[in-house]
Structure 1
Amino acid sequence: MRKIRVGVVGVGNLGQHHARVYAELPECELVGVADVDPKALQRITRQFKVSGYTDYRELFGKVDACSIVVPTVLHHALARDFLEHGVHVLVEKPITTTEEEARDLIEVARRTGRILQVGHIERFNPAIMRLRQIVRDPAFIEGHRLGPYDPRVKDIGVVLDLMIHDLDIILQLVNSKVVHVEAAGVGVYGTHEDIANARIHFENGCIANLTASRVTPERKRKIRVFQRNAYISIDYINQEVEIYRRIKNPNAPPGTPNVTIVRTKEAMKKQEPLKVELKHFLECVAQGSEPMVRGEEARDALSLAVQISRLVKERWEKYFKDF
């Protein structure tokens, strides 16, 4: 069976890893990459011995599938162009900058019969995959996604840059309509927010409290889920899952709670989420199956992120204009 011919558009900080993983996977052939930066292009073409183009359109007719790893403002135009030329697309998150653009991509993918997968990579983190097996009717979720400033990300704020990962996860975990959102944040380095907090109320009563920052010296990626009789703690970076279960303690002394908390640490097989993600994308292309992260789900995460960003900006301008 012929290998799937793949390409990568944008071989910067993240795109270079898409190229690396594709080059490692036996089910595909990395045939070309594109980037407007000649130096980045030369580095990747030499490393993986593939063709390189400064015009991404040179990949048309040469690839069956493509990763689009460019600034968010370019997602819609490039993804649309590849879909229209019959190429299956994995576009990095967020899917686009606006809901209208997201809806358009979803429609183009439907019309052309091509796969549209969105790069919400945490869905493929083994710790999150295990969390989804454990969670039952969460009551409260708390998440922290913190890290240092990245000067490469200039077109979006921290909500669309970082928090959107956790927004996507909680929407899948809770599976209920969002009924109310509160948010606050400020910018430190420019016109976009660099730290933000959001409190999200769901119709089923669950509440999620998320904090994202790109002004924190150390990277932290954690989420905690509270549900009946259990509390699950996830460390995204170390791919660790800890479960704290509440069980009855018939031997509790009089006047003390008759429950005890038992901690267990799940045995995890660590994997590179990007490799799991790209393997899944290739399987969808080969089998014509629906991807785990569909355009519609990415659109929903984007919609919530845009709402939070708007609330942050309104509060920032009202109370902390001179921050």
Structure 2
Amino acid sequence: MASGLRVGVAGVGSLGRHHARLLRDLPGAQLVGIHDTDAARLRAVGEELGVATFDELDTLLDRVEALVVAVPTTAHEAVARAAVTRGVHVLIEKPIAPTLEAADRILEAAERGGALVQIGHVERFNGVLRACEPYLEEPLFVESHRLAPFAPRGTDVPVVLDLMIHDLDLVLSLVRRPVRSLAAVGVPVLTPSPDIANARLEFEGGAVANLTASRVSVERRRKIRFFQRSGYISLDLAAGVGEFLRLRPGVELIPGKPFPAAGIDELVERIELRSDGQEPLRCELESFVAAVQGRGPIAVTGEEARSALAVALEIVERIEEHVAHRAAS
């Protein structure tokens, strides 16, 4: 008989299906079944993965200890609160909720129910990001580009909550200082809410982040760069590769003093960074199971996700105030 943490998945669309696929064989977990309000999709995914299906969420909740919440963002609160009020631990896909009020209600219900809440900011588990951690010190300037072709998934919220929030979470977790000021612009292109956005954040202490996200691009791109006093880190999050550039030991470039007559490779050391090849979503699920079982910390807490949501919503508000958005509307 299968053993381990009894887990269910609510919502088996493009992402929830992968949660269910990975949970089938995850050590320490037992996938009890899946639920979706789309009956045809529920049956199709159930047959494809060979897992039990539940037409009613309550029936699934009666049989599990933990639940992955992969429904549309606008339904996060209802599903998550139904789980945590029963003491069922939840891994909620990002963002935690569409509003701060909804996020607070989820977290309050979880505290009352004694349930653990982890949020699915999966980019934290990207292998190349983990590979660069030994070289990350105190980023002073961060630049990210997260671009994707248009797809109906995620269009229930602005691109800031759909895509940019990945990079917001990364930046907030690495800079670890409050945002002092921000400016943002965005334009609705194919949906009523912004489909492309740019935000500039300035943090206490002087660090700056410039983030761009688009869901109406002709290409896919997930790149982020960190500039710090010790060097420059460039990561291709999609390809799982990157590099760290720094002056070679003993090289000192002094303003006003002629540079040594040497090529760039003699001055700058390039350190290749590469992902370990592990699937980030699998690593995220492993961390969730470990946290519920008391074998590890919560990788991304509800409070951290709420902080990212607060900044994201302020970006959306600034976009709506901007002339470019008003003209497009």
Partner of 1:284: 291
State whether structure 2 residue 157 is matched by structure 1 residue 156. yes
- Give the C-alpha shift of residue 15 in structure 1: 0.6
Q: Give the deviation of 1:29 after TM superposition.
A: 1.3
CA contact (8 A) 1:115 1:290 kept: no
Aligned to 1:182, the other structure's residue is in SS state strand
Q: Look up the equivalent residue of 1:298 and give its one-letter code.
A: A
Partner of 1:11: helix, strand, or coil?
coil
Shift of 1:50: 2.4
Partner of 2:311: 304
The Cα shift of 1:268 comes to 3.5
SS class of match (2:300): coil
Aligned partners of 1:159 and 1:305 also within 8 Å: yes
Across the aligned residues of Structure 1 and Structure 2, the Cα RMSD in angstroms comes to: 2.0
Query: C-alpha separation between the residues in 2 aligned to 1:87 and 1:288?
Result: 17
Question: Secondary structure, in 3 states, of the residue corresponding to 2:165?
Answer: helix
1:132–1:173 Cα contact (<8 Å) kept: no
Q: Deviations over 1:91-132 (max 9, x none)?
A: 100000111211222222222221100000001111222333
Q: What is aligned with 2:136? A: 135
Secondary structure at the aligned position of 2:24 is classed as helix
**Equivalent position of 2:278 in the other structure:** 271
Query: Does the CA contact (< 8 Å) of 2:128 and 2:273 recur in 1?
Result: no
Provide the C-alpha distance between the structure 1 equivalents of 2:95 and 2:253, rounded to a whole number of angstroms. Answer: 52
Distance 1:184 1:251, change over 3 A: closer
SS in 2 for 1:127: helix
Aligned mates of 1:131, 1:144 — CA distance in 2? 18
Paired-residue identity, %: 42
Q: How far apart, in 2, do the equivalents of 1:284 and 1:95 lie?
A: 18
Letter in 2 for 1:143: S
Q: Which amino acid aligns with 1:194?
A: D
Distance in 2, Cα, partners of 1:103 & 1:257: 56
Provide structure 2 residue ranges, at least 5 long, that are not aligned to the other structure: none
How does the TM-score come out when normalised to structure 1?
A: 0.94
Equivalent position of 1:187 in the other structure: 188
Letter in 2 for 1:249: V
d(CA) in 2 for partners of 1:166 and 1:191?
Answer: 23
Moved over 6 A (4+): none
Give the distance between the partners of 1:221 and 1:212, measured in 2 at CA.
9
* Structure 2 CA distance for partners of 1:132 and 1:106, relative to 1, 3 Å: farther
Separation (CA, whole Å) in 2 of partners of 1:137 and 1:145? 22
Q: Is the 8 A contact 2:188 2:328 kept in 1?
A: no
Q: Is the contact between residue 87 and residue 115 of structure 2 (CA under 8 Å) also seen in structure 1? A: yes
- Partners of 2:253 and 2:259 within 8 A in 1: no
AA matched with 1:124: F
Residue in structure 2 matched with residue 115 of structure 1 by the alignment: 116
- Distance in 1 (alpha carbons) for counterparts of 2:204 and 2:257: 37
In the alignment, the residues of structure 2 paired with residue 229 and residue 167 of structure 1 have an alpha-carbon distance, to the nearest angstrom, of: 23
Rounded to whole Å, the distance in 2 between the matches of 1:188 and 1:175 is: 33
Name the residue aligned to 1:224: 225
Deviations 1:144-203 (Å, cap 9, x if unpaired)? 000111123231011000000000000011011100000001010121001100000000
Does the residue aligned with 1:226 lie in a helix, a strand or coil?
strand
For these two proteins, the number of residue pairs brought into alignment is 321
Distance verdict in 2 for CA 1:316–1:118, change over 3 Å: farther
